[in-house]
Amino acid sequence: MNLGNVIAKLREDRGWTQEQTAGFLGISRAALSHYEKNRREPDTDTLSKFADLFHVTVDYLVGRTNTPHSVLDEPIREFVDQLELADEELLQKFALTIDGRKLSAEEARRFIAFVRAERMMK
């Protein structure tokens, strides 16, 4: 199922008209119609609004998963949202990988140093 079909189905399952749904989202009914008919794709902000309105994940909307709701418990979500990669204890506890190969502690430190240097250049 494509994005437009998912949006239309979620709206119809709730018994909402396009006009009502567009109002909830702060967009025009015409824009919603274009999204549902796959004539146009929503930007990331609008995609997030759809996910919030229908209480589903963006991954579900775009077809990356068949599970409409996040599988992370709230405490885990908070942990992930505030994860500090440079924490030495974290580097020791978790196996960070790239291309399926575990990063050594030294590789992880170089990676972090690279990102910091790149940020300073901007």
53 and 14 in one domain?
A: yes
User: The domain that contains 20 carries what CATH number?
Assistant: 1.10.260.40
Mean pLDDT of the chain, nearest integer: 87
55 and 95 in one domain?
A: no
Report pLDDT for 104: 84
Domain assignment of residue 68, yes or no? no
Report pLDDT for 2: 93
Who wins on pLDDT, 7 or 109?
7
Given a contact cutoff of 8 angstroms between Cβ atoms, the answer to whether 71 and 27 are in contact is no
Q: How many domains does the chain have?
A: 2
Domain assignment of residue 66, yes or no? no
* Residue that has been written with the tokens 């004539």 in this structure: 39
Q: What is the pLDDT of residues 29-83, one digit of tens each?
A: 999 999 999 999 999 999 999 999 999 999 899 988 887 876 667 777 777 677 7
53 and 18 in one domain?
A: yes
Q: What is the pLDDT of residues 88-99, one digit of tens each?
A: 777 777 777 888
57 and 105 in one domain?
A: no
Range of the domain at 113: 83-121
**pLDDT of 105 over the 70 cut:** yes
Given a contact cutoff of 8 angstroms between Cβ atoms, the answer to whether 25 and 52 are in contact is no
Who wins on pLDDT, 101 or 50?
50
User: Which of 30, 61, 92 is the last residue before a domain boundary?
Assistant: 61
Domain assignment of residue 23, yes or no? yes
89 and 56 in one domain?
A: no
Domain assignment of residue 98, yes or no? yes
Given a contact cutoff of 8 angstroms between Cβ atoms, the answer to whether 4 and 21 are in contact is no
Domain assignment of residue 72, yes or no? no
Q: What is the pLDDT of residues 12-26, one digit of tens each?
A: 999 999 999 999 999
**pLDDT of 4 over the 70 cut:** yes
